[in-house]
Structure 1
Amino acid sequence: MDLYSKVLLRSGQFGGEVRFRVDQIQLPKAESKEECKWGSYAKGALYALQRGGNNLKQGITGFICGTKGLDSSGLSSSAAMGVAYLMALESANNLSISPAENIEYDRLIENEYLSLKNDILDQSAILLSSYECLTCMDCKVS
């Protein structure tokens, strides 16, 4: 097994390690029968990138830590988790993915991979906002 194709994650809030390879095909949680663990968003990011036709070769090593007392992975937004893992995997694999594509990939993580009924507001705010700028989103359906 190629050492560089591994994903290795540790958490400041949760015990254990998350380990998987980027060449492992990820199935939605409902199909995989795997117990939901704190590393599911990382596997979901791989699922979304694979679903988008991206062939990843390079894994990542990371440590995630957020505010104590929050469930999930310690961040207040699950979208922040998904976007962070997407961007880390994309950077490691020299992928150039637009914010609009990453919004869709994060939706795939939450709606398809994890079977959650989340919308795209959080990831849109994360990916489309700029420092010291007001972000205006028109959410009307045309």
Structure 2
Amino acid sequence: MRKSRWKTVGGGALTAGLIAAVSSGWYYSRPASSVRILADGIAQGRQVYADQCASCHGPDLAGQPDWSTPLPSGRLPAPPHDASGHTWHHSDEILFRIVREGTAAIVGGGYESDMPGFADVLSDAEIRAVLDYIKSTWPERERTYQLEVSRSG
């Protein structure tokens, strides 16, 4: 059942993500089978994002309005995951841990966040797929920066 669900994902975003990957050299030196796996992962991530993340972070990755201004609760609204946000400033390891464990668990020090951990909802592979989808939407500059942060972190 799950496999057929991923096949229903529209090709537009997948095509855009692959064009971005090609134009940035993101997949150069990868065998064709790896490129297909990457494309499948991005499509899966897009669907998981729509199912699990879009209600807070927006269907277009734009986040909640005034995302950098604290709410009356003192917590911050959900940030964007497009290039206008700060997601691309973080390494793959940190992004994975935030999704898996929740923001408060990673920040520590009594920090409060509405971002829950998804360890009981998403598999590690689904978390990686969501992150691959998000990264596939970024312009080359942001993808390159985030890749370097991930390599040096």
Shared fold (TM-score greater than 0.5)?
A: no
Higher strand share: 1
Higher helix share: 2
TM-score normalised over the length of structure 2? 0.29
TM-score normalised over the length of structure 1? 0.30
